Amino acid sequence: WDTMPGAKKYRVRYRVQGTTPWAKDVAYAGRTKLWLTGLNPATTYEWQAKTVCEYSPTASGTRWSGTQTFTTGLNPQRIKFSENKDVNEIELSIYPNPNNGSFNFELFNNGKVNGQIQVFDVVGKLVYQENIQSESGVVKKQIDLNVDAQGIYFLKFSNGDFIQNERIIIQ
């Protein structure tokens, strides 16, 4: 994709072609590539991207781009995207980011929510975990990680059909 004026981040979603659940990741402003690991060999994936121009609980960004595809090799190491409307989906916001270990988590969905929040440090150690439920499809909560180390952490939200990963910077 091309960089966009005013962009704070780019959301990217991808999945095995023709399947339902999207996995999500984020590339922050100024980046036009996203590296993925853990993909299946010799498999066609579809992906979309969109631009988010502000950090706020209601910032949903632009519409998803048209669907693009790529196929992994027989022994993929890493895959990178470089460019590219539709579905009702879960929207997740984390703010402020960067933060001091305390941040807001907001999730909006058209139906009820039944999922799990996990936060991992940079070496993969689980530092926070919580199961969440909401009949209204809206979850708003403040999370305090109570960690001493500054640095990059990874938040993973998952339910049976959806996975989204976000990077959190603690200063």
pLDDT at 11: 86
| 169 within 8 A of 124, measured Cβ to Cβ | no
Return the CA Rg of the chain.
Answer: 16
pLDDT at 34: 77
DSSP-assigned letter for residue 52: E
pLDDT, one tens digit per residue, over 90-107 is 778 888 888 999 999 988
pLDDT at 6: 80
Strands 23-28 and 163-170: parallel
pLDDT at 130: 96
Burial level of 42, CB count in 10 A (0-12/13-18/19+)? exposed
Using the Cα atoms of residue 98, residue 103, residue 104 and residue 105 in order, give the sign of their dihedral: positive
pLDDT at 37: 72
Using the Cα atoms of residue 23, residue 161, residue 120 and residue 6 in order, give the sign of their dihedral: positive
* Residues forming a β-bridge with 153: 168
| 33 within 8 A of 27, measured Cβ to Cβ | yes
Which architecture characterizes domain 9-81 according to CATH?
Answer: Sandwich (2.60)
CATH number given to 91-170: 2.60.40.1930
Which residues in the chain come in under a pLDDT of 50?
76-88
CATH 2.60.40.1930 segments of the chain: 91-170
pLDDT at 165: 85
In whole angstroms, what separates CA 27 from the centre of its chain? Answer: 9
